[in-house]
Amino acid sequence: MAQLDRSTPPEAGPAPQINIGEYEKFTLKNGLRVFVVEDHKLPMVAYNLTLDIDPVFEGEAAGYVSLAGDLMRSGTTNRNKAEIDESIDFIGATLNTHSKGIYGRSLKKHNATLLELMSDVLMNPTFPQEELEKSLKQMETGIQAEKNEPSAIANNIASVLRYGKDDPYGEVVSEENLANITTGHLKTYHQTYFRPNAAYLVIVGDISVKEAKKQAKKYFGDWEKAEVPGHTYSQWPTYEAPKVAIANRDGANQSTIMVTHTLPLTPGHPNAIKASVMNQILGGGSFNTRLFQNLREDKGYTYGAYSRLSTDKRIGYFSASAQVRTSVTDSA
């Protein structure tokens, strides 16, 4: 039997063909932009509604924006949380909310039920006090745990250094912030920013454009539009020389090292894909990246070393990090 020659890597095959369906676009009278992609392979339809808004600086009540998104599906004027959960589970659907939108997916035969729930959660959330208190306790527990987590400490410091503490991207939520959050913050955020003229709805799946138009008008046509404020912020910090920040933790057996900086890389930028490929080679997550091979395989300093490159319509960033033995911190 012939032996398999493993000394030469096999040649790469042809690049796979990626066929992204063409979309149809229409706009409702209230300003909601709707994009439809027909895909009839499976009897499923997904609905992804996203707000196109500027980031919001939260100040002394930092944390309320994410809570507003998380708690939208915790109760409406028509249903409580248990009823929403039961209805979604009964039809085997998915319904998730976040600070900039809502996502739902179900079998086509259950679209009406799903959309009724989606529109109710989107337009009529009540943000029950008891659900807010539960979430605040969970967030407080998480913040307390992060105080002993080197990587979390490093990430918080990096955010402040990259963007500044007076920028939405540089805000770090503290226990003091949580104590200032009320249901009023959540309701005001929702009433201010969840408006159809500041959103777009993407519908993908076993559906025609005609059906999508009928559904969009029926379930989202009564959503009231209103003026949505925009925000501008001062320029993020610049440094004439590399800045070093040290957070000491007595008794730590590992050091978290992070190198990071802002990057003017927006989605769709001519260099975005090139930079992404570069980052994958440098430290994008696999075992054969440059950082991983150098710091783990060659030096034995760490179990893993990684880099990240993020694009953003305001400002992106790059970071590279590793957790190493304290005795090799300077060498790493």
CATH of the domain at 269: 3.30.830.10
| Structure confidence at residue 240 (pLDDT) | 87
Residue 249 lies in a domain: no
**How many angstroms separate the CA atoms of 5 and 12, rounded?**
16
Residue 174 lies in a domain: yes
297 and 152 within one domain: no
Residue 10 lies in a domain: no
| Structure confidence at residue 236 (pLDDT) | 86
Structure tokens at 195: 């408006």
Domain final position from 197, 220, 243:
220
| Structure confidence at residue 13 (pLDDT) | 87
E strand or H helix that includes residue 45: strand 44-51
Could you tell me the pLDDT band of residue 16, with boundaries at 50, 70 and 90?
A: confident
Lowest average pLDDT, out of 78-92, 109-123, 213-227, 237-251, goes to 237-251
110 and 206 within one domain: yes
| Structure confidence at residue 26 (pLDDT) | 98
Residue 37 lies in a domain: yes
Domain final position from 165, 198, 220:
220
106 and 179 within one domain: yes
| Range of the structural domain that residue 143 is part of | 23-220
**How many angstroms separate the CA atoms of 320 and 304, rounded?**
11
Report, as an integer, the average pLDDT of 249-263.
90
Report, as an integer, the average pLDDT of 206-212.
98
275 and 144 within one domain: no
Residue 87 lies in a domain: yes
The yes-or-no verdict on residue 154 having pLDDT over 60 is yes
Residue 239 lies in a domain: no
DSSP string covering 3-43, please?
A: PP--SSPPPP-PPPP--PPPEEEEE-TTS-EEEEEE--SSS
Query: Which residue type sits at 13?
Result: G
304 and 205 within one domain: no
What domain count does the chain have? 2
Residue 42 lies in a domain: yes
260 and 163 within one domain: no
Tokens 């033995």, residue located? 325
| Structure confidence at residue 9 (pLDDT) | 79
| Structure confidence at residue 2 (pLDDT) | 60
Residue 15 lies in a domain: no
Structure tokens at 320: 């590279």
CB of 277 within 8 A of CB of 290?
no
Domain final position from 220, 244, 268:
220
127 and 199 within one domain: yes
For 68-123, the pLDDT digits (tens) are: 999 999 999 999 999 999 999 999 999 999 999 999 999 999 999 999 999 999 99
For 33-82, the pLDDT digits (tens) are: 999 999 999 999 999 999 999 999 999 999 999 999 999 999 999 999 99
Question: What is the pTM (predicted TM-score) of this model?
Answer: 0.90
199 and 72 within one domain: yes
Its sign, for the CA torsion 34, 39, 43, 44, is negative
Q: Of 195, 152, 163, 167, nearest to 31 (Cα)?
A: 195
| Structure confidence at residue 230 (pLDDT) | 94
The yes-or-no verdict on residue 238 having pLDDT over 90 is no
316 and 210 within one domain: no
Report, as an integer, the average pLDDT of 218-235.
94
The number of residues making up the chain comes to 332
84 and 207 within one domain: yes
Of residues 241 and 34, which shows the higher confidence score? 34
